[in-house]
Structure 1
Amino acid sequence: MSNVRRLSSRIWPWSALLIVAFCVLVQPAFASTIADPGRFLDQAENLRTSDHPRFVQMLAQIHREGPQLTPAEQWHLRYLDAWETMYEGNYTKSATQLREVIDHSGVPVLATKASALLLSNLSINRHYKEAFELANRLTRELPEVRDAEARFTLLYFLSMTMTSAGQTDLAIQYARMMESALPAGETLCKPLHLQVDALEYGKRLNSASHELQDAIAACVAARQPVLINSLQLIQAHVYLRDGQPRAALALLGRIAHDIQHSGYQPHMLWWQMNRAMAYAKLGNDSEAKKAALAVLAMSRPGDKNGALRDTYKVLYQIEKNQGHAAAALDYYEKYAALDKANLDDVSARAMAYETVQQHVLVQKLETEQLNQQNAALRMQQKLDAKAAETNRLYLALLLMALVFAGLWMFRIKRSQLRFKKLSHLDGLTTVFNRQHFMGEVERTLHLLEKRAGTACLVFIDLDHFKRINDTHGHAMGDEVLRQVVVAGRQQLRPADLFGRLGGEEFGILLVGCSHEQGMAIADRIRCAIEATTVECEGAAIAISTSVGLACTGAHGYDLRRLCREADSALYRAKRGGRNRVEAGAEDSMPIAI
């Protein structure tokens, strides 16, 4: 879901990514005059995550042309503006816009969607008390929500919020309600995954639990590789908790290819960490240390996650067993620091939840007191005594929650990792999505600039792709995109970056390549794609591409300039007859068939 992706994207430079979004070729699918604004807004909302550049273009178009909108359409537009503001990472402004939609739109479906998005916004910013207060209000309003998509979205975020608060039964209840409220196009994968996550958070899963296998089967049927990998990593951890390290190692070995193929860094960290723990439990300190050091090698400076914390614990135990006191102490200090940081966050969530629940109870008691103003003094005294007793009970429960907060830390971190997992890959082609690709390219260019390295940025656009969609259907168009990615990957090296920029356009960063090498690789990719055919009802569909290339040697390391030069080169390749490779303005001559 689109809101989930926002939860894990607080540190991304969204403004820069939106600037790059305008480098994409303008699509001619929409007329310059908006005849039906309501339908236009519905189309834009459906494109938010599947084609975000087009979504941005449509928002700009409706603001620019300013058609006559009904009050409901005006609020729909303001809701989409708030969504985009949150997408850019401006959570404070987005929260204000969402509250305006909730309080003043008068459109129940919009108010429900905005409330669910606001719940996500508050959780991201660690406004836990306000988030749980909103969750209580949305729970009371849930029976009145009739729109299938709005209800599904609301239940999804309520389940995640209750899991993070340690309310396992409530989280499972909301997830099961999602099963009976599936909108068109949804499957049981997400509800079952939420149930497994809640059970794992509450330490209710074991190696014989059928819920885990049911969730894996549902996500396999739904073709959700990221969720499948997440569930299997949970299963490996359950094996370890149940004292079955050999079973955990066997499972981790079977999913090794899927984990590595996905390239999703959080899953790779947890995979290596589970291997380290399994080997450590088997007494194989050598292999345990190799896996643990692999986690450290993949981690970035400043990372704070459960996998890194548990890795330091494994390394501490290994060094302690081997009598290396200094190294053991160093690893223990790092483990303790991460452990405290995670515990603080868990404690903050638990305290906020319990405080909100206590406030709800106090409000109920005050209401009862107002309804009984004319009661006898003795009854009033009993009510006051009951209120004081209840307050003491909840205070005791709150203190107990703080004592046991450390037990919830691991599930909280797993939930946070799940927030991140959908933000990196394109769902159709499994290469990087636009946001992650541009972020990785910018980071790589900074590193190359420091050591005077070279790289080439390549933009690839399929020739006459719209004709394939119109002639053979979008399903065949999707298959063509997948085959193009397969052909392109075969020509790349492990260090190269590959991402889908949107529609039929792809981007590649060739790391450590001179201009000549980049042109050669780009032409090999073009030839490989040209040699690829897709069968459709006995007929072969030919594919060709136009390629634009810009190198750091000629254009420097600024991402926006490289994008402009590569885009300009791509346009020259289109104008020059397509199926050819063009370099930036300051590079050398094109390669064509």
Structure 2
Amino acid sequence: MKRITFGLLLLLSTTFTVKAESSAHISKDFDEQLQYADKIRSSDPELSNTILLELQKHEELLTAEQQHYLKYLLAYQLTFQGTPDKGLKQFKELAESKASKSLKFRTNITIINTLANTQKWNEGLAYLSKALELLPSIENKEIMQTGLMVAANFYNQLGQYELGYKYAEKLNLLPINDRNLCLSKGVIIEAKINLELLAENSDEIKQGIEICDKVGETLMSSFIRSFLVRLHLNKQQPDKALNILLPNLEVVENSHYPRLIIIFYSSIAKAYSFKQNYIQSEKYALKTIAQAELLGASQPVVQAYEILYKIAEQRKEFQLALKYHVNYTKANKTYLDNIKTKHLAYQLAEHQAIEQETRIKLLNEQNKLLRVEQDLAQAEAENNKLFISLLIALSTLLIFWAYKSRLTQKRLRQMAEYDSLTGIYNRGHFTQLARSSLEYCQSSNLPLSCILFDLDKFKTINDNYGHACGDWVLKKTADVCRNIGRKNDIFVRLGGEEFCIFLPGCDLTTAKEFAELCRQEVAAIDSTESGFSFDITASFGLTSAKLSGFDLDKIIADADQAMYLSKNNGRNRITLFTP
């Protein structure tokens, strides 16, 4: 590597001292340097960055397209080094520039990747939709392959592993280079593991690691190793996990890629906790927290805080354990909220696609009707009677399509505003209603209360009696609570087994009485109607605008905190939020 570095820097220094007369030769050398920096951007990021910084010093000698290419690679380095917002700003500027079509497409798919890493799912889906439309027009095969790869990776990170697997498999139908083969293997392995289609002893995993190591793609081979480690840890096989993690830790740390580093640190901490080596476990859990400072909540961070508070508990350091547990709870809630956000973003994109498809179909039918009307106008002079008959038929057809259109719009509105399972409001529509209700109560000086409740041990019901039985419980719970509420109460299913009721005009005392009625009604549900016999209870959290203010996020968070106190204090109870 030292020889390569020295030789390349020598090439750079000699190129930059060439006189302006040989500009064509200089331009060719710059192309080679940019392409080489691009080629090694993930396998040797330090050398790639060195080349780019040298090129940046002589940017005035570059052609316009070379400057665009340099800007792309510098923006990539920003995202790689843990400052994705800065990189994203540069990418978006480049996407609106006069760069070539292929570079702009590549910029767009890199934006998609960056938005996925920063969990901006709605914006990412919008960019992905545009990129997939442009994909067939891209002539550069490698860039087209990269587009498919980014789509597969984006869907994997969104949790839509079937779609991720589908787009990665498309690459197997194309002649691809070794680097893209490595990347496709990584995406396919991640999707298959999450779809429970691969075991830890699978030859496909070993083959993926070997291919990536062969081409020097240590980032992807390390990610594949982390997938394999997850399988070992899920089966409580810490020694097998450590035998993979520790020999490859230095390579991962030298990558300076925070997202990968915290996965390794957190996994090492988990493996040592299984072995009851709490000193090493604590060491790597703390390393995870320190490394993830700028990355926000993620599964490795949640796992690290969980390990730390359990170690502190085991040492009877209860004050420290409480501190770590609070951080664990916050990180876990943020992580779970991110997962919910992914699902909501994907569902919203699906609804928008359906609405767009319906609108296009309606416009096509309307265009057909216009063409028929034109034909009828031309035939009017020949046969007036036939014209009248056809006009009646067309009018009938138009009414029919208008009726169908109205039904479609009504159905789309139902899908957009109501939860399809329970028939109560969904989260998106609830947000609009709740904000309006808060503004009205605040301006009218009226009380407002919020009840948040979650079905107890709902996962056990699903596991023991099946998801059909779980759906029956959700619908029954919604029915009994809706029947005792008022018409102006805002009742919503937030997701899973979690519900919320906004009570405009209700003070805390009245809301508590209503919550108690709901709790009793839920507990009184006769589960034998489902074909099984089991208890149904719920834990309630309660707050009011007087306690929590008129900010929607704050009042929901306070009710959620009170609800978790109900969970922790034995379930099937009501807890008032205490500021």
Q: Name the TM-score class by shorter chain.
A: 0.5 to 0.7
CA deviations on 1:495-527 (whole Å, 9 max, x unpaired) are xxxxxxxxxxxxxxxxxxxxxxxxxxxxxxxxx
CA deviation vs aligned residue, 1:203-229 (integer Å, no higher than 9, x gap): 554435454233223224334444333
* Contact 2:145/2:176 (<8 A) preserved: yes
Measured after TM superposition, the shift of residue 170 of structure 1 is 1.6
CA distance in 1, matches of 2:110, 2:265: 34
Tell me the residue number matched to 2:495. Answer: 403
Percent identity reads 15
The secondary structure found in structure 1 opposite 2:159 is coil
1: CA distance, partners of 2:173 / 2:497: 33
1:116 matched to 2:112: no
Instruction: Confirm or deny: 8 A CA contact 1:346 1:405 kept in the other structure.
Output: no
Q: Which has the higher helix share?
A: 2
Q: Following the alignment from structure 1 to structure 2, what is the Cα–Cα distance between the partners of residues 225 and 377?
A: 63
d(CA) in 2 for partners of 1:137, 1:227: 27
Q: Which residue of 2 aligns with 1:566?
A: none
* Structure 1 position 238 matched with structure 2 position 231: yes
1:97 aligns to 2:93 (yes or no): yes
User: Is the 1:272–1:292 contact (alpha carbons within 8 Å) kept by the matching residues of 2?
Assistant: no
- 1:220-259 to structure 2, matched below 5 A, reads 220-241=213-234, 244-246=235-237, 248-253=238-243, 255-259=245-249
Q: 1:95 & 1:196 partners in 2: Cα distance?
A: 29
Question: What's the counterpart of residue 3 of structure 1?
Answer: none
Residue range with higher mean Cα deviation, 28-37 or 167-176: 28-37
Which residue of structure 2 lines up, in the alignment, with residue 421 of structure 1? none
Distance 2:345 2:119 in 1: 10
Change (3 A) 1:379 1:338: same
- AA at the equivalent of 1:28: T
Contact 1:95 1:121 in 2 (8 A): no
The correspondence of residues 416-495 of structure 1 with structure 2, limited to 5 A, is none
**What is residue 377 of structure 1 aligned with on the other side?**
399
C-alpha distance in structure 2 between counterparts of 1:58 and 1:337, whole Å = 44
State yes or no: 1:27 paired with 2:20: no
What does the per-residue CA deviation read over 1:167-204, in whole Å, with 9 as the maximum and x for residues that have no partner?
Answer: 21221222223344455553522111111223345555
Aligned-partner Cα distance in 2 for 1:356–1:63: 43
2:327 equivalent to 1:334: yes
Does residue 45 of the first structure (1) align with residue 34 of the second (2)?
Answer: yes
Offset at residue 362 of structure 1 (A): 1.2
Letter in 1 for 2:35: N
Say whether 1:212 aligns with 2:205: yes
Question: Residues of 2 paired with 1:53 and 1:294: CA distance?
Answer: 31
Whole-Å separation in 1 of the counterparts to 2:12 and 2:31: 20
Which of 185, 210, 230 is matched with 1:192 structurally? Answer: 185
2: distance between equivalents of 1:96 and 1:181? 30
Match 1:361 to one of 349, 354, 360: 354
Q: How does 1:261-340 map to 2 (within 5 A)?
A: 262-264=252-254, 269-271=262-264, 273-278=266-271, 280=273, 285=276, 287-288=277-278, 290-297=280-287, 299-300=289-290, 302=293, 304=296, 305-318=298-311, 320=313, 325-340=318-333
Find the partner of 1:389 among 399, 411, 417: 411
Report if aligned partners of 1:45, 1:80 keep a CA contact under 8 Å in 2.
yes
Q: In structure 2, how many angstroms separate the alpha carbons of the residues matched to 1:61 and 1:240?
A: 50
Equivalent AA in structure 2 for residue 175 of structure 1? A
* Corresponding residue for residue 63 of structure 1: 60
Amino acid at match of 1:215: G
- Pairwise CA distance, 1:358: 1.9
Rate the CA distance shift 1:176–1:314 in 2: closer, same or farther, 3 A. same
Cα distance in 2, alignment partners of residues 403 and 154 from structure 1: 32
The count of corresponding residues between Structure 1 and Structure 2 is 368
TM, length-normalised to structure 1: 0.53
Larger Rg: 2
2:560 is matched with none
Do 2:34 and 2:69's aligned partners in 1 also have CA atoms closer than 8 Å?
Answer: no
Alignment-derived partner of residue 176 in structure 1 = 169
> Which gives a bigger RCO, structure 1 or 2 (Cα 8 Å, sep 6+)?
1
Q: Distance in 2 between matches of 1:339 and 1:245?
A: 22
Q: Is the 2:200–2:231 Cα contact (8 Å) retained in structure 1?
A: yes
Distance in 2 (alpha carbons) for counterparts of 1:339 and 1:91: 28
- The CA distance in 1 between the partners of 2:355 and 2:88, in whole Å, is 30
| Secondary structure of the structure 2 residue equivalent to 1:245 | coil
1:128 pairs, out of 111, 115, 121, with 121
> How far did residue 390 of structure 1 move?
4.3
Q: What letter corresponds to residue 306 of structure 2 in structure 1?
A: K
CA distance in 1, matches of 2:218, 2:117: 25
What RMSD, in angstroms, separates the aligned Cα atoms of the two structures? 3.9
- Does the C-alpha gap of structure 1 residues 29 and 37 become closer, same or farther in structure 2, counting only changes over 3 Å? closer
Structure 2: distance between partners of 1:250 and 1:124: 29
Residues 24 and 332 (structure 1), Cα distance of their counterparts in 2 relative to 1, 3 Å cut: farther
Pairing of 1:498-509 with structure 2 (within 5 A): none
Larger mean CA deviation between 23-32 and 92-101 belongs to 23-32
| DSSP-derived class of the 2:209 partner | helix
Q: Partners in 1 of 2:71 and 2:65 — Cα distance?
A: 10
State the distance in 1 between where 2:74 and 2:261 align.
Answer: 31
In structure 1, stretches of 5+ residues that fail to align are 1-22, 67-72, 407-593
- How far apart, in 1, do the equivalents of 2:405 and 2:416 lie? 16
Q: What is the CA-CA distance between 1:402 and the residue it aligns to? A: 6.8
Aligned CA distance change for structure 1 residues 98 and 379 (closer, same or farther; 3 Å): same
The one-letter code of the counterpart of 2:14 is: P
Which of 341, 363, 367 lines up with 1:348 in the alignment? Answer: 341
**Cα displacement string for residues 47-83 of structure 1 (whole angstroms, at most 9, x for unaligned residues):** 434544444544554625x8xxxxxx64554354354
